[in-house]
Amino acid sequence: MFKRLMKHSLYIVVTTLFTFAYSSPLVQAQDTKSAVNSLEAKQGEVEALLDATDDLNRGRSSHSLMKMKVKTARYEREMKVEAWTQGSEKSLLKILSPKRDAGVSTLKVGDEAWNYLPKVDRT
């Protein structure tokens, strides 16, 4: 019985030591560091996959009508916008409402952008 109790006690001691050793900050830091390195290595793959998914969903061109509601403590307003795109390089947005902003447009080609302001009839 004594031998059996000693084996059991030895098992508990070894298990406890292993648990404390494995849960030490040094071991956790090494595990965390390797996990971070692994994630950083795969980040490029994930970004490429997301870009490919965006390209599939975007298509060659698109047309959309959007409505945006802005609500603050002092006011509430709604804006309607119509947009056209070709790929990711060209886009045209035109404000449809409210009336005071209607016609204001933004054209983007590559890294350049232009605004059209109908009240002054200038870009």
- Contact (CB, 8 A) for 67 and 79: yes
Give the β-pairing of 90-97 and 76-86.
Answer: antiparallel
- Provide the whole-model pTM: 0.54
Residue 4, pLDDT score: 45
Domain ranges in the chain are: 2-57, 59-116
Closest to 66 measured CA to CA, from 101, 108, 91, 94: 94
> For each of the chain's 123 residues, which pLDDT tens digit applies?
444 444 445 556 555 555 555 555 554 556 667 766 776 777 777 788 777 777 777 678 889 999 999 899 999 999 999 999 998 899 999 999 999 999 999 999 999 999 999 988 765
Residue 76, pLDDT score: 94
Residue 114, pLDDT score: 97
Residue 11, pLDDT score: 54
